[in-house]
Amino acid sequence: MYTARTTADRDALHERFREANEICEDCSTHPAIAVLRSFNRHFSSRPLTRSELLLFLASMASFNRHTIGGIAILAGRLSDQILPLLPKVGHEIGAHVLDAAVDEYGLRETNTHVELARNFAEYLGISTEEIEARENACAAAVDLGDALFPWYRERPVAFALGVHTASEATSVEEFVPWHDIFLKFPQYRFSCEMPEFAYMRAHYAHEPGHIDSARRCIARYLDVLPGEHDHLREGARAYLSLYRKMFQQLDAQIFG
């Protein structure tokens, strides 16, 4: 934990939390979220055909292909940047991001989330080979997946943290509705406790906590490096711009 703070220090940290809340709020009110919610309304209106499910699941796999490793790398990059400035407690800031990687790597369950996703798709009759074929995904999903590799690894740390925060903000809006949608239609043949439904169940449980962790990480990060505010916002906007295109394409291609 931090050492004793002065009143001025506490006031500054309070201001950083306000800034972090603003960044998260900007993510949740970005037009990309409205596009996703429109897609979800259509998604909830009827079950998808096999070809539509393939497009949807292949697109999710394509854009997430570098995310799991990217989150873990971001946690390390945060520590590398912060530790010279806060050698005693710098790891605490990166730990807020590492917590999401722990879930993605399945360390709280028995399988990684990639494995859970494959089991989920296979239960729906779609093979791993089909899911991983980039030509089965929409073009914007491929573009976003390709962009995420350098965003997490090569762009400024604050930019990558903004990307991660936007990703967590959208994940809540994805998996909470999708969990219920896949249970809604008997054509999908899921029940909540089935092993094959663990992919949805795990994200439904963990994603709300991830955005809270991202918010705390931003506040602590800006408390140390207040000048990185613009890079944070730039990263979030870059992610949400491509994300919006992805769900516009999916909505048009699946629901017309």
> In the chain, what are the domains?
8-255 (1.20.910.10)
**The pair of three-digit structure tokens given for residue 193, joined into one six-digit string:** 């406790």
- Can you say whether the dihedral through the CA atoms of 5, 8, 10, 13 is positive or negative? negative
Which residue, among 43, 8, 59, 57, has the nearest Cα to 181 in the 3D structure? 43
pLDDT at 9: 61
**The pair of three-digit structure tokens given for residue 237, joined into one six-digit string:** 């906007």
CA distances from 120 to 28, 35, 124 (A): 28, 25, 7
Q: Cβ neighbours of residue 63 under 8 Å, at least 6 residues apart?
A: 137, 141, 142, 144, 145, 148, 243, 246
pLDDT at 160: 97
pLDDT at 213: 84
**Full-prediction pTM beyond 0.75?**
yes
Return d(Cα 108, Cα 74) in angstroms, integer: 20
Return d(Cα 107, Cα 119) in angstroms, integer: 17
Walking along the chain (256 residues) 10 residues at a time, the average pLDDT comes out as: 55 80 94 98 98 98 90 92 89 83 67 88 97 97 97 97 94 94 97 94 77 88 94 97 98 97
Helices (runs of H) and strands (runs of E) counted in the chain: 11, 0
pLDDT at 2: 45
Return d(Cα 181, Cα 175) in angstroms, integer: 10
Q: Which amino acid is at 99?
A: D
Left (φ > 0), alpha (ψ -120 to 50) or beta: where does 68 sit? alpha
Return d(Cα 169, Cα 165) in angstroms, integer: 6
